[in-house]
Amino acid sequence: MDVYFVVNIDSDPDPEDTPRSDDAVMEKYRIMKSIVDERVEGKGTICVQTSPMYRDRFFERHFLDFWRAWVRDGGDLTLHPEEDLYSTPETRLASGSYYGDTAHMEAVIRPKVELMNAEGLPFAAYKGGYHGLTMDIARILETVGIPIDLTCAPGIDWPEKLAAWGDAPTSAYYMSPETRSEAAAPGASSPVFEIPFGWDGESSDTSRRLLNQHYLVNEFSSYEALCKVWDCIVERAESSGEAQIVSFLCHTYAMQADKLRRQCGDILSYITRTGGTPVTATEAKTIYDRLH
């Protein structure tokens, strides 16, 4: 059976050591782009962050030119509000999450969508920080014209961050209009198409609010563990008789670290060598619609 994967790129700078220089950030972006171009023919879906710390930084001309080149060479763009992790001392919440404040999230999402639409760079997808998503946010995405979400991490349940994916499907699905972690019933109206992170189905300790070696996530795993997770996904496709669509998460902040940079390229090569077909988020949705 076919197995498709979306290279889901988080372009956040390191929250603990953020370069002040845009050129320093951009150099890591260029390294990531070269890996995606070489290993998966440019089929990467990259986040554009907005946050209390950097509300507008990554929407300025220097970065817009890079996003334009990314799309021109075959990639997709993802809107990525990081409202909690990249907060400032003045905006940091004592408890809870900004993702539960629907008015706040709409005030964040809508202007950035409108800006990028005006630039001819519409967002193909959305990704919530800490895997947080609510049905209210899903409905906002529907109204602003973002058809795809890349937030789901099956097996994860972090109530304080509104990340409730414990029983979510392990392959792409149209979200139920009532519950984000359930697939819509046949014929039901759905607010968004969900592409989950690749997962081997094993329960594990994620109490530190980080994915681990049971997920397709470059920076929190090893090459050997990533291969095992991918092999499980391939086996799932074969045993179920159904095509699988998942995402592989990687981060630009790590692209000047030799081990993680090499590992990212190596695992992409392994995935494509063992039956994986790289697709953008947009292409994944088109394939799903064709298969169903």
pLDDT at 187: 86
pLDDT at 205: 77
Beta carbons within 8 Å of 147's beta carbon, 6+ residues apart: 124, 125, 141, 192, 193, 285
Q: State the Cα–Cα distance between residues 274 and 290, nearest whole angstrom.
A: 23
pLDDT at 15: 62
Q: Kindly state the tokens that stand for 30.
A: 């260029």
Q: State the Cα–Cα distance between residues 86 and 74, nearest whole angstrom.
A: 29
Task: Print pLDDT tens along the chain (292 aa).
Answer: 799 999 999 998 876 666 678 998 999 999 999 999 999 999 999 999 999 999 999 999 999 999 999 999 999 999 999 999 899 899 999 988 999 999 999 999 999 999 999 999 999 999 999 999 999 999 999 999 999 999 999 999 998 899 999 999 999 999 999 999 999 998 888 989 999 999 999 988 777 777 899 999 999 999 999 999 999 999 999 999 999 999 999 999 999 999 999 999 999 999 999 999 999 999 999 999 999 8
Q: How far is CA 90 from CA 13, 53, 102, 198, in A?
A: 20, 10, 20, 36
Q: Kindly state the tokens that stand for 75.
A: 């990639």
pLDDT at 149: 98
* Architecture of the 3-291 domain: Alpha-Beta Barrel (3.20)
- What is the pTM for the complete model shown? 0.96
Helices 135-144, 102-118: inter-axial angle, 10-degree rounding:
20
pLDDT at 208: 73
Kindly provide the b/e burial profile for residues 126-141, where b requires at least 16 CB atoms within 10 angstroms of the residue's own CB: bbbbbbbbbbbbbebb
Q: Kindly state the tokens that stand for 28.
A: 């890591």
- DSSP secondary structure of 24-44: HHHHHHHHHHHHHHHHHTT-E
Are 244 and 1 contacting, i.e. CB atoms less than 8 angstroms apart? Answer: yes
Residue spans of the domains in the chain: they are 3-291
Are 174 and 184 contacting, i.e. CB atoms less than 8 angstroms apart? Answer: yes
Beta carbons within 8 Å of 178's beta carbon, 6+ residues apart: 135
| Other beta carbons less than 10 A from residue 170's beta carbon | 21
pLDDT at 209: 75
